[in-house]
Amino acid sequence: MALVVQKYGGSSVADVEAMRRVAKRVVATREAGNTVVVVVSAMGDTTDDLLDMADALTDDAPAREMDILLSAGERISMALLAMAINELGVPARAYTGAQAGVLTDSKYGRASIVGVLPERVARAIQMGAVAIVAGFQGVNEVEDVTTLGRGGSDTTAVALAAALNADVCEIYTDVDGLFTADPRIVPTARRIESVSSEETLEMAANGAKILHLRAVEYARRFGVPIHVRSSFSDKTGTWIYDGRKEGAFVPPVVAAQLDDVVEADNDQEDEPVSATRPRLDGATGRVVAPAGTPAPDGGSVGRAHDRAISARAEARPHPSAKEDNVEAPVISGIAHDRSQDKITLVGVPDVPGAAARIFAIVAGTDANIDMIVQDVSAEGTGLTNISFTCPDGDSADARAALEAAKGELGYKSIHFNPDIGKLSLVGAGMRSHPGVSAKLFGALSEAGVNIHMISTSEIRISVVVDDAVLDEAVRAVHTAFGLDAQDTEAVVYGGTGR
């Protein structure tokens, strides 16, 4: 029926019982007639435990050896899950990132995928086995193990789905999909049934933890349908669709079939496969329809994938022409981020080229800059202030480089603030509706929250505030835009959201 790539996060495979639960779901998906490839993260807090052990030994671990160490967690998961699936009578083969053909550059710790050649994975599923792939890792041109950065298993899953021409990439986590805010902070957050890839990119880039930013970018580039759902429940989750497509979005046919699989997983785990349901031919790896079933249009997985892409998940109903304010902004959700620091250069000479020199120095440290604000030059002084934010892992090197270049840059002082948080309001039609900004700033004002910096895009408004009031700010804005659910919809089954 379909080629399905499923990714399970650390909380979904946290212990032996969790492994058994995931194995049953994988087997149920396969017995429904689907070809299945699984990508797994490390069990629970394994990666953090490995980092703690490395920190206990050295303050300056070689990046190459750290990648070898951290890739071990996913290897443990893939082997144990393969054993659990084999125990249920279904053949399963485990593969490291290198064995699965995930090729990367040589940026240890945050490598980028440069290509995927999943020959061994393809052979395994053609022989009727479930392929289990270690997420988060690959191999570079000199055959060293590399890792993709935290959350990189999402990217592994989407990259494999694209390379295998899969019908859908299911991201299983410990919450029931994407929500209008982090349910750990806003208990009244609502589940989003479907959302565009552009809005998802903004939410992921600005702190939403459910999906890895690079995974969303990869999926959008290669047209991979993503379905985010919980491995702990049978709820339908959230579909992420290509926002460039027009028209109402209907989930691919495979979606309803996979919902049935989840129900079977929960209610009829031991029921044998019905003779009236499609099955997988172990010799050919092809889906075989039951006798008397009309052949599907097209017949190949590739054509099925094309049909799935052409019928995306329903974003939101198109309003009737009779409705008023049909171009009103639609707020998808609120993201927040505590992982950034703010650096301010005070008394910078307000002359052409000053900002260029500052950010050339920052770029030399490989720091990723997010928001930038330059004040108006103080009258009669010829001096200005320039502030920017960057990830906390990059700020130390950026700050040191700027301090070393103080004589060249000519600024008076440098201020460093690690106690900031970023709140981002994401939705369509934001820039053309000034009322959105007024409502956002009004809600923050009423909550007594002061704003340090502001940044906007076509579908996002971000503000930097004090970290101590970030949670309160998120709740206030969530309520102000009418995003609160009447009943509690968000349940966090695990602990991390990944």
Question: What residue numbers does the annotated binding site for ATP cover?
Answer: 7-10, 173-174, 184
d(CA 175, CA 496): 9
Helix, strand, coil share (%) of the chain residues, nearest 5: 35, 25, 40
Going by the annotation, the residues of the binding site for substrate are 47, 74
d(CA 66, CA 69): 5
Tokens of 147: 């890792």
Query: Angle formed by the axes of helices 72-87 and 16-31, to 10°?
Result: 60
d(CA 342, CA 340): 7
Rounded to the nearest angstrom, the gap between the alpha carbon of residue 99 and the centroid of all alpha carbons in its chain is: 24
- Run of H or E residues at 394: helix 392-404
Which is nearest to 217 in space by CA: 141, 288, 264, 148?
Answer: 148
Rounded to the nearest angstrom, the gap between the alpha carbon of residue 492 and the centroid of all alpha carbons in its chain is: 17
- Check: CB of residue 31 under 8 Å from CB of residue 287: no
Look at the alpha carbons of 477, 458, 239, 11 in this order and tell me if their dihedral is positive or negative.
negative
Going by the annotation, the residues of the binding site are 7-10, 47, 74, 173-174, 184
d(CA 63, CA 68): 9
- Check: CB of residue 162 under 8 Å from CB of residue 220: no
- Check: CB of residue 63 under 8 Å from CB of residue 108: yes
- Check: CB of residue 199 under 8 Å from CB of residue 461: no
